[in-house]
Amino acid sequence: MINLHQFANPARFGRLSRAVLPWTATATVVLFAAGLYYSLFASPSDYQMGDSVRIMYIHVPAAWMALGTYLFIAVMSAVSLVWRHALADVAAQAAAPIGTAFTVIVLATGSLWGRPTWGTWWEWDARMTSVLILLFIYLGYMALARAFDNPQRGARAAAILALVGIVIIPVIKFSVEWWNTLHQPASIFRAGGSSIDASMQTPLFLMALAYAFYFVTMLMMRIRADLAANRARLLRLNAVE
């Protein structure tokens, strides 16, 4: 059984992140370069949507990461509440702005794609509305974490909200099946296999990997910054005493 507390030591995390960060940052740059090349130049246009299909290579991986990041926050929140893991709250709160950015990208690129495809920038269909709710949950989580003078109370309240808010994930996932929506159903991870041509899957998965490595890189950088800020705050409090 994995001992979660072995990763709770900030000094150990600092050593690990220093070793890993150069590799994840390099992978992020390389994957984004390859993904954007394939997305913009090497992949074919769609016979119906034309070049606007290229928005998919930004939109879909961002949607995966928006949901994946929220799941990460929920797991870290559960770890914090159950096991009092020292870095769990720090990791969850560090991930929240990154997940928020992914969600904004999803909504923005979805609107850009919807205008030429559906003839409107926004439609209150189930998928779009549920993703908008996810954005509000992200914003509420970050606000609640900073709403208390005591950081521990704020972290606990935010962790509870994260666990309650996890119900939005299956709603987003199955919204196109539960309700009549303009949004198309799953095209990749579905029974019967992907309906997307292999030439379009390559840039899609390259961009997905680029987003994933970007998340890991930014997460470690934000955790390191938050730990440094916490140390500085404790030093100031000790100096006052």
26 vs 193, more confident: 26
Look at residue 12 in the predicted model and tell me its pLDDT.
83
From residue 2, alpha-carbon distances to 6, 7, 71 in Å are 9, 10, 20
Q: Is the pLDDT of residue 112 over 70?
A: yes
User: Residue 232, exposed/middle/buried by CB under 10 A (0-12, 13-18, 19+)?
Assistant: exposed
| CA 117 – CA 45 distance, rounded (Å) | 14
Q: Is the pLDDT of residue 30 over 70?
A: yes
| CA 7 – CA 79 distance, rounded (Å) | 12
**Category of 109 on φ-ψ map: left (φ > 0), alpha (ψ -120 to 50) or beta:** alpha
Average pLDDT over residues 41-64: 86
Tokens of residue 123, six digits = 């439609």
| CA 47 – CA 221 distance, rounded (Å) | 42
User: 23 - beta bridge partners?
Assistant: none
Q: What is the pTM of this model?
A: 0.90
What dihedral do alpha carbons 39, 45, 48, 54 form, nearest 10°? 20
Per-residue pLDDT of 72-82, as tens digits, reads: 999 999 999 99
What residue segments make up the domains of the chain, in order of their start?
Answer: 52-183+201-240
- List helix spans (H) across the chain: 10-37, 56-83, 88-118, 126-145, 151-164, 168-178, 198-240
Instruction: State the CB neighbour count (10 A cutoff) for residue 230.
Output: 13
The secondary element (H helix, E strand) that includes residue 87 is none
Average pLDDT over residues 151-160: 94
Average pLDDT over residues 211-233: 92
Look at residue 239 in the predicted model and tell me its pLDDT.
67
Q: Is the pLDDT of residue 1 over 50?
A: no
Q: What percent of the chain has pLDDT over 70?
A: 88
Look at residue 189 in the predicted model and tell me its pLDDT.
57
| CA 203 – CA 43 distance, rounded (Å) | 7
Place of tokens 């929140």: 77
Measured in whole angstroms, the distance separating CA 45 from the mean position of its chain's CA atoms is 28
163 vs 198, more confident: 163
134 vs 190, more confident: 134
Q: Is the pLDDT of residue 46 over 80?
A: no
Q: Is the pLDDT of residue 47 over 60?
A: yes
Q: Is the pLDDT of residue 6 over 80?
A: no
